[in-house]
Amino acid sequence: MTNPFKYGRIVTGEDFADREKEIEQLLKDLKSGQNILLYSPRRYGKTSLIINVLNVLLKEKIITVFIDLYGCISISDLVDKIIEETVIPAQGTVQKVADFLKGWISNLRPEIALNPDGSIGISLKKEVQALGAEKVLSQILDAPQKLAETKKRPMIVVFDEFQEISNMDGLNIEKTMRSRFQNHKNVTYLFAGSRKHLIDEIFGQEKRPFYKFAKPFPIENIPRRDFAKFIHRKFKETKILIDPKTIELILDFTKGHPYFTQELCHEIWNIASETNEVKAADFAEAIKTILYQHGDYFTRVWDYLALSQRKLIFALAQENKVISVYSTVFIEKYDLTSASHVEKAIDYLEKEGIIEHDAEAYYIGDIFLNEWVKDKICSSNALNKASPVKRRPRSTKKQKLRRHSR
């Protein structure tokens, strides 16, 4: 029997728990033409939620387009991606794609080819070289509106990991996009992002082109009762007995974080599938397995932190969540030197995606990293004895953003 707890990929349908209210609200907003900014740290289930919403819209004959900006490193990539994701699915054949493009961007000559696997490929790389990326992009951005007009149907376009545009001449792209999008009467946009500080900069600063362009839509952990029902159902369907108390234990630990809950349940299921019953010791055993699996990665993260950052991480791990990070009591308890040292460490660790904060408190984003620090770094004495702080190799902005992905 296959493990019913899936993580590290998009989950839909039966593998997707709850989010009913979010789905309902998103459908309502998008259908009424409201642009949306969906945000949360990574692994809270944005992409999965979006795909589930798009699946409903598709059934209602609304044209949907999903453009993932992750991995797009140049405007030229972005141009090709927009064309590929909008025109190809809507038009279907090489001839229809060519006809549509000819009727609308007659000054551009995209390369259209049939790939060996039967899919269609389009590239405007040569045009970008000849005419300049901005000029080509400015025209290509109208593709969704042109298609919506041709098909006489409304259209919803998603840009996932939208903050990635900051890696490619961000501000100019923002200006170009904003100036095109505001003319698109038949297209509604959903922007999703995981890097809070970048998303805040793009959508939250008065001077930026996207200021107030979309309705903020934060997503959080899955409510306890709904996740408990989901976990119970998944174990039951695969004929493994689980005590409701263990489910409570799981959710106490993960707080309903979608990815970590699935990851932990996945391991518990693996252990329990041998006896068809979750035993009392399996919970702790599963956590141990996960810490072991990620041990190398956590060690690398730790090794690259400066001493003041390690001290803060250590302190957060001991406390789980900290409201008053700048209080004298907290600073003295964990030998954090001063409020300005804490501020600098927070700034860095947040940008790197290692710590997060909600309306109330700061905490380590990865609950298993939190557990690993508690487990391995057992006293502030050990902090100072830990391996000397390694200098990071010089890295590009892009690499920095990726480093803490796992």
The contact set with Mg ion (CB under 5 A) reads 46-47
Size of the site for ligand ADP (CB under 6 A): 23
Q: Is residue 16 near ligand ADP by the rule CB under 6 A?
A: yes
Q: Work out what residue 368 binds among Mg ion, ligand ADP, none; the CB cut-off runs from 5 to 8 Å by kind.
A: none
Query: Of these, 30, 35, 44, 203, which contacts ligand ADP (CB under 6 A)?
Result: 44
CB 365 within 8 A of CB 353: yes
Q: Exposure pattern of 328-347 as b/e (b: 16+ CB <10 Å)? A: eebbeebebeeeebbeebbe
CB 406 within 8 A of CB 297: yes
Q: Is residue 294 near ligand ADP by the rule CB under 6 A?
A: no
Q: Is residue 46 near ligand ADP by the rule CB under 6 A?
A: yes
Q: Work out what residue 294 binds among Mg ion, ligand ADP, none; the CB cut-off runs from 5 to 8 Å by kind.
A: none
Residue with tokens 């970590």: 260
Q: Work out what residue 262 binds among Mg ion, ligand ADP, none; the CB cut-off runs from 5 to 8 Å by kind.
A: ligand ADP
**Closest distance of CB 98 from ligand ADP, Å:** 34
**Closest distance of CB 115 from ligand ADP, Å:** 27
CB 249 within 8 A of CB 228: no
**Closest distance of CB 52 from ligand ADP, Å:** 8
CA distances from 93 to 65, 107, 120, 144, 257 (A): 17, 21, 8, 18, 42
| CB-closest chain residue to ligand ADP | 45
Stretch in the footprint of ligand ADP (CB under 6 A) among 17-25, 111-119, 297-305, 372-380: 17-25
Q: Is residue 365 near ligand ADP by the rule CB under 6 A?
A: no
Contacts of 111 (CB under 8 A, 6+ apart): 121, 122, 123, 124, 125, 126
CB 242 within 8 A of CB 232: yes
- Ramachandran quadrant class, 66 (left: phi over 0; alpha: psi -120 to 50; beta: rest): beta
Q: Is residue 8 near ligand ADP by the rule CB under 6 A?
A: yes
Q: Which one, of 88, 77, 54, lies nearest residue 165 by Cα?
A: 77
Binding mask 163-182 for ligand ADP (x = CB under 6 A): --------------------
The Cα–Cα gap between 125 and 8 comes to: 32
Stretch in the footprint of ligand ADP (CB under 6 A) among 45-53, 80-88, 121-129, 206-214: 45-53
* Of 264 and 317, CB closest to ligand ADP: 264
Binding mask 232-271 for ligand ADP (x = CB under 6 A): --------------------------xx--x---------
339-344 long-range contacts, CB within 8 A, separation 24+: 341/308, 342/308, 342/312, 344/308
* Positions that interact with ligand ADP (CB under 6 A): 6-11, 16-19, 40, 42-48, 194, 222, 258-259, 262
